[in-house]
Amino acid sequence: MQSHKVVEVTSSPTVTQKTPKYQFNKVKDGRGHPISGLWERNGRYYLQVTLPNKGCTKVPLVDDQKEPVRTVLEAVAAVAKLREKIQHGELPVAGRRQAFSDYAEHYLKQIKTLEAKKPKTIAHEKSILKGWKSFLGDLPLNKILRTHVSGYIQQRKASKLNNRTVNLDVLTLNNLLKFARREGVLSGKLPTEGWERLPYKAPKRELYTKDEIETIRATAVSINEDGSPRFRNGELLSDVLRFLLYTGARITSALATRWSDVSLERKQVALTKTKYDKQDIVVDFNPELEAHLRDMHSRREPESDFLFPGTRSDGSVGSVRKSLELVRTQAGFPDFGFHDCRHTFISYCIMSGVDILTVAKWVGHSDGGVLIGKVYGHLASEHRQRAAKKVSFEHDQPTPSTDGNLVDLSQLSPEVLLQALLRLQKGKQEPLKNQ
């Protein structure tokens, strides 16, 4: 093992002359002798080493908590540990000044192949990182501080964005920085670590009734005075809204559904394009869904297997969404969205007495109805009031048996009741039991 001289050090480097702020300075011991390989720049300490395929480079020194060392004594101790790692084949991370804007592009390219993320997620991160690139620009990755993160948060909050959006901004930056650390571009604690998410509570979704959705649907198929359709895709939108209302499907699942997924004989429809590409969702026909699908089937376009054929690509909601924006405003419900049909479907199922587990299967929840119980389980006030009126406190109390157990006499046959009465008359103390 290579031996090293023991040197006397002081708490601060000996600097013989004033040097520029960002110039590397040799660190010297108490006698004024340079300490081998140890450099200082702007309060940070570095070890100069030669690495394979990288040549001579300076590596920032950190302590056991991955924080930069601040004194000469700490730097000497970190040098000893780092040199020991090098002897065991553990190469240090070179201090590279990687600009954030450049690395963001590199990150987006890499996660397409290295990360198990959906294209939609990658597209979302790309959109978020566009804002970060505009804010951070060419600032080196290792120069990003918590103050930069806080500054961007304040900027986003000033734009009246909700806390959920801001939380996603910071989460995406954290994903990038963690990826950079795994690649060896960064070391130590990240400026996003330990950041507490801003409080956010999802607003309570308004429950639209079937009649209100029917009003929107009727507006979609309304006609002008000359008999022409008021909205170009009105009939298509009308069919979509009813399908969503009667199945609880998401819009992307609905538009991707084919007639080959519908079984009029088994009275079921399979939703094959599901969130996160989970297994197919099978929805059993309710009377309204069956009537709607049979009506649609009678006027289907023979050249297309899609329930909702259009000019857009498979699963796209572009043309239908634009039609909905126009129709809902005319109908007087400017905040209505496709997902409101799903919300109404689930709520009406619960109000109809369908058990939560069955509803969960119809809408593709694999949690056994936990989410439905938390989010969709609230019922319309009128339904709760009707249910409250059914509660009665006038029921007769069950008759106790001689052994102290309660017996529901309504569940006993006349023969058993007669035998029990005869026993009582004879003074027998045999207990009364359900049979």
Average pLDDT in the 297-302 region?
A: 90
Residues near 277 by Cβ (< 8 Å), separated by ≥ 6?
A: none
Q: How much is the pLDDT for 1?
A: 43
Q: What is the average pLDDT score of the chain?
A: 79
What span, in angstroms and rounded, lies between the C-alpha atoms of 339 and 346? 11
Q: What is the dihedral of CA 6, 7, 8, 13, to 10 degrees?
A: -150
Burial tier of 230 (Cβ tally within 10 Å: 0-12, 13-18, 19+) = middle
Whether pLDDT at 88 is above 70:
no
Instruction: Spell out the domain ranges in the chain.
Output: 1-95, 100-182, 210-387, 398-435
Distances (CA, A) of 39 to 64, 72, 323: 20, 10, 66
Question: Fold for domain 210-387?
Answer: hpI Integrase; Chain A (1.10.443)
Whether pLDDT at 167 is above 60:
yes
Q: What is the dihedral of CA 64, 65, 67, 69, to 10 degrees?
A: -30
**Domain 100-182, classified CATH 1.10.10.60, yes or no:** no
> pLDDT tens-digit profile of 199-258?
988 666 678 999 999 999 999 999 999 989 999 889 999 999 999 999 999 998 899 999
Whether pLDDT at 262 is above 80:
yes
End-to-end CA distance of the chain: 89
Helix (H) or strand (E) holding 174: helix 163-182
Which has the closest alpha carbon to 343: 321, 359, 331, 327? 359
For residues 366 and 376, the answer to whether their CB atoms sit within 8 Å is no
Amino acid at 102: D
Q: How much is the pLDDT for 23?
A: 79
